[in-house]
Amino acid sequence: MGVQAGAFQVRENADYLVTDLLKKGFHPSVREESIQGVVHYRVFAGTAMAAEQARDLLSRLIQSGFSGFLVAEK
């Protein structure tokens, strides 16, 4: 599982969120995906985790003032 903190069509916006997450002690990553020919930048607070770890990370993310949700990874 993973915890997604945001998705953007502008890379700069994704980079701003990454910077904010880093300042709060998270270790974010960005995945670039093309959806119907449009590039999207998905910002993750964490990936490749067990469900319990992902829920804990999501809780910490929300407590830090961010939004997010759990995602099942392929």
H or E element, residue 6 = strand 2-8
What local confidence, expressed as pLDDT, does residue 56 receive?
97
Question: For domain 2-71, is the CATH number 3.30.420.270?
Answer: no
**Model confidence at 2: pLDDT above 70:** yes
User: Tell me: the pLDDT tens digits for 49-70?
Assistant: 999 999 999 999 999 999 999 9
Check residue 7 and report its DSSP letter.
E
* Residue ranges of domains in the chain: 2-71
Backbone angles phi, psi at 20, to 5 degrees: -65, -40
User: Tell me: the pLDDT tens digits for 9-50?
Assistant: 999 999 999 999 999 999 999 999 999 999 999 999 999 999
For residue 38, count other CB atoms closer than 10 A to its CB. Answer: 8
Check residue 34 and report its DSSP letter.
E
**Model confidence at 74: pLDDT above 80:** no
